[in-house]
Amino acid sequence: MSDTDLAELGQQLRVDSVRAAAAAGSGHPTSSMSAADLMAVLLARHLHYDFDRPDNPANDHLILSKGHASPLLYSAYKAVGAITDDELLTFRKLGSRMEGHPTPRLPWVDVATGSLGQGLPIGVGVALSGSRLDKLPYRTWVLCGDSEMAEGSVWEAFEHAGVEGLDNLTAIIDVNRLGQRGPTRHGWDLDAYARRIRAFGWHTVEIDGHDIAAIDEAMTSAARTRGAPTAIIARTRKGRGASEVEDKEGKHGKPLTDPDAAIGELGGRRDLRIEVRRPDEAEPAPRGGGDPHTSLPRYATGGSVATRTAFGETLAALGSLHDDIVVLDGEVGDSTKAQLFAADHGERYFECYIAEQQMIAAAVGMGVRGWTAFACTFAAFLTRAHDFLRMAAISRSSINVVGTHAGVAIGEDGPSQMALEDLAMMRAIHGTTVLYPCDPNQTVQLVTAMTGRPGISYLRATRGEGPVIYGPGDAFPVGGSKVLRSHPDDQVTLIGAGVTVHQALAAADQLVADGTRARVIDLYSVKPVDTQTLRTAAEDTGRFVIVEDHHPEGGLADAVMESFGNGHPAPRHTRLAVHTMPGSATPAQQLDAAGISAPAIAAAARKLAAS
């Protein structure tokens, strides 16, 4: 395509963006119009992609980080013949694939975007896969908005990519000067962006984002640059080409009031079709197998092992059994024990440092390429990455997340290090699996189960050592539980998970000595929960004491009680949880102070059984 034809294609993308938003009565046409020339040149001259084979491993990856500009992306899909004009005009309508922000309902969309500041961090994960795992020549292109440059996660991504020298990654920044409510922090000061990005080791190019030749030259430069990623910083005008909205405040996120006039200004409708260059055939090295002679860890009953240790040892063994497993660490691998994986599989271990948002984003990006990712840090610090986990669910991502050092049981480090919200956070995310083992052999089984589950799986692991109560051959299906004490004369059921299972067992022994029988359930699968076992226990005993090393909101007790209703009456119950703000103390003192130790459980059970 000539430069003139590319300018026409840019105008077509603008017109179709205006039309799509007008048909919907909502949307972001002005944000789409500013980046139309950038998209036109990328599609026609630089992107290598087979739209008939979106799963082709040699395809480039295009991530629209400024996901609100979805009309531009959908207009591009029309231009390449992937969708029809009729489907384009279903934008934002019930049942349409043309959602307000793109999601992988469309086969050409790798990840959902729309929460700004996420596209580039995920792109780093995709690019890392290409350079260090797949070893394929595909490029990752990320179209960013200037407003999202205020997000800290973007700068985590710039640093990570710069340190890794990801010359297969190009960020295209659409600097259109205007955000949602007015001008952006740096306006059209391209050098303000370039100085900062260069400081992270990137190659930068500053251009007029409406100059076709300059865009082409910048993208060519990006492809030729070795040893560093490239940022193309493009000065554009929001609403380009339509006088009603061009470079005017107050027009963000609204369809044009007179779309026909704007379409006329832009030269009218066009129906240009372009052939995106298909990539050269390439196949990644086979993966998914491993050494079938590797054994998973086995722990003898009667000993004492921390579940975090069992996690690390299991992960290292699984890395030998499955060569598609990758591990990402938040610079605490010595504590989470994820570092045990690095000793045997260093080429598949990625240090993300203290950048939890980037760690989760990179895991999502590696999942795009089919790798089985484990992202590991202290459970408390995952709260910083909650939005990335939320968006990962919208992206239909399958990643595994492990949080260690949970609850008051960590002891002296104090409340800043104690995850007391993580179960609630992870349970609330759509489609998650939430697991909380109390025993190392149980941990082995649950970590192994995570590797094959769709969606986001979360495992909560404990810092301190605990007794080994299960044998290596015991089974722990996801969605199950273990009844550890049971008698026909049970008067109350004690329910725990993780550290509180051991406290519940000790409480049950105390109660037996008093003549009170208590059933004990290890509810290791917090989501999905073992509804049938809970309902049976409710019918048999009528009373529950639910004990958790977590705040009372949204954790184990809520998971238990959600099993009732719809004809299944809830039992009388007492919830024991961490209601106060902990300080520093030993683990045993912490459990006592929180009221979740064995004596507190026994006292609550006696009171409930007597009433």
Instruction: Identify the burial level of 226 via C-beta atoms within 10 angstroms of its C-beta, where 0-12 means exposed, 13-18 middle and 19 or more buried.
Output: exposed
Q: How confident is the model at residue 418, as a pLDDT?
A: 96
Q: How confident is the model at residue 566, as a pLDDT?
A: 86
Q: How confident is the model at residue 291, as a pLDDT?
A: 79
Instruction: Identify the burial level of 377 via C-beta atoms within 10 angstroms of its C-beta, where 0-12 means exposed, 13-18 middle and 19 or more buried.
Output: buried
Q: What is the DSSP letter of 225?
A: -
Q: How confident is the model at residue 292, as a pLDDT?
A: 80
Which residue from 43, 44, 21, 46 is spatially nearest to 32, judged by alpha carbons?
Answer: 21
**How far is Cα 578 from Cα 331, in angstroms, rounded to an integer?**
28
Q: How confident is the model at residue 165, as a pLDDT?
A: 98
- DSSP per residue, 129-187: IIIIII-----EEEEEESGGGGSHHHHHHHHHHHHHT-TTEEEEEEE-SB-SSSB-SST
Angle at 217 between CA 15 and CA 188, to 5 degrees: 65
Do residues 121 and 362 make contact, with C-beta atoms less than 8 angstroms apart?
A: yes
Number of neighbours of residue 243 by Cβ within 10 angstroms? 11
Series of mean pLDDT values for 10-residue runs along the chain (611 residues): 95 98 97 98 98 97 98 98 98 97 98 97 98 97 98 98 98 96 95 98 98 98 98 98 96 96 97 95 72 90 97 98 97 96 96 97 98 98 97 98 97 95 98 98 98 97 96 97 97 98 98 95 98 97 98 98 92 97 96 97 96 85
Q: Is the pTM of this model over 0.95?
A: yes
Beta strands, E only, 438-527:
456-460, 465-467, 482-485, 492-496, 518-522, 525-527
Active site residue 244: no
Active-site position among 156, 164, 356, 548: 356
